[in-house]
């Protein structure tokens, strides 16, 4: 694995382990769940070569970064505050923010809550959207069917399942949400009493974009951090809407880009509406759907992702 330049950045009352490389305008890359900075391993060097300084944190609760105990410490106000705190620590008044999975809502909301600090924004996998409180977190909305966001709400339950065998957990999740997995696997019916991993595939062969060395690194990170911090992000889903009520109907005005894999199951989640996103982002420069890709597009199809990013960012050097 290539050696990276890490800094422990103090921001917003915590410390974030952050890869910082390059010189120039700042690009901040935000991972999601269950990931860490390593998701962006194929994007760092092309962005640096294009003339940018790149900051890639383990977001709060992940990897080598601090993991506060309080569930409320993971709401969207704290997460977006972390982002602008990284820019402050590196001496930048503005930045470009790029996020995947949970990193995408952080990127979108940073562009809204700190509009003067964000020059452009990119979201991958998760379109910009808002939802009614309880819509994603109450079992009554899903009848007797399992819905993972509901399952994640009670502290300790998902942690116990996912941490019982970290390697198996990460192997199964990364395969089952990849473009290599059978379609509709994630949405196969199972009762609400099931566990998250029930019905997912433990593959004999790792998915496209993941090597044994990659899996080893992820396992090392999650053996260090556990899953609690990342799961606490899900436990703020409703709180995120409550503390940002002022953003209802507000448009993201910066130049923006959306990317997703053709087989990304997130696009089939309740309420995922690309047309509604376009109405809320009038300066959307593209909505790129990568053929054959699943959820992990920065790793599965890095060349396509890098081209899209550099095409957008060429005007911001």
Active site residues: 101, 295
Q: Which helix (H) or strand (E) holds 256?
A: strand 256-261
**Which residue's entry shows tokens 């977006």?**
80
CA distance 97 to 120: 7
3-state secondary structure of 54: strand
Distance (Å) of CA 313 to CA 28, 98, 145, 303, 304: 13, 11, 42, 15, 14
**CA-based Rg of the chain, rounded to a whole angstrom?**
18
Rounded Cα distance, 188 and 239, in Å: 29
**C-alpha closest to that of 210 among 239, 181, 233:** 181
Give the phi and the psi of residue 159 in degrees, each rounded to 5: -55, -45
Sign of CA dihedral 36, 37, 39, 41: negative
Within 8 A by CB and 6+ apart from 240, the residues are 75, 76, 105
Q: What is the side-by-side order of every strand in the sheet holding 95-100?
A: 6-11, 14-21, 53-57, 26-30, 95-100, 118-124, 256-261, 284-290
Alpha-carbon torsion 120, 54, 63, 84, what sign? negative
Q: Are 308 and 288 in contact (CB under 8 A)?
A: yes
Specify burial of residue 223 (Cβ count, 10 A radius: 0-12, 13-18, 19+). Answer: exposed
């Amino acid at each position: 694995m290539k050696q990276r330049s890490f800094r422990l950045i103090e921001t917003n009352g915590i410390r974030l382990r952050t890869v910082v490389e390059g010189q120039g305008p700042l690009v901040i890359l935000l991972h999601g769940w269950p990931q860490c900075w390593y998701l962006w391993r194929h994007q760092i060097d092309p962005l640096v070569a294009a003339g940018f300084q790149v900051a890639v944190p383990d977001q709060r609760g992940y990897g080598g970064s601090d993991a506060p105990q309080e569930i409320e410490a993971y709401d969207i106000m704290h997460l977006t505050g972390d982002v602008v705190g990284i820019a402050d620590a590196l001496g930048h008044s503005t930045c470009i923010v790029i996020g995947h999975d949970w990193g995408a809502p952080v990127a979108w909301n940073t562009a809204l809550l700190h509009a003067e600090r964000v020059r452009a924004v990119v979201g991958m996998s998760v379109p910009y959207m808002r939802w009614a409180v309880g819509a994603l977190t109450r079992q009554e909305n899903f009848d007797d069917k399992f819905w993972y966001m509901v399952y994640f709400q009670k502290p300790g339950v998902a942690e116990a399942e996912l941490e019982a065998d970290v390697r198996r957990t990460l192997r199964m999740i990364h395969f089952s949400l990849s473009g290599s997995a059978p379609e509709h696997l994630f949405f196969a019916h199972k009762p609400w009493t099931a566990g998250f991993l029930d019905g997912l595939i433990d593959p004999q062969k790792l998915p496209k974009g993941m090597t044994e060395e990659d899996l080893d690194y992820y396992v090392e990170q999650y053996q260090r951090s556990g899953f609690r911090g990342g799961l606490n992000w899900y436990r703020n889903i409703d709180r995120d809407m409550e503390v940002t009520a002022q953003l209802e109907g507000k448009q993201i005005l910066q130049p923006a880009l959306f990317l997703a894999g053709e087989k990304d199951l997130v696009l089939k989640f309740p309420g995922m509406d690309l047309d509604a996103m376009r109405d809320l982002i009038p300066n959307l420069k593209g909505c790129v759907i990568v053929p054959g890709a699943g959820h992990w597009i920065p790793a599965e199809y890095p060349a396509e992702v890098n081209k899209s990013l550099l095409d957008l960012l060429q005007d911001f050097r």
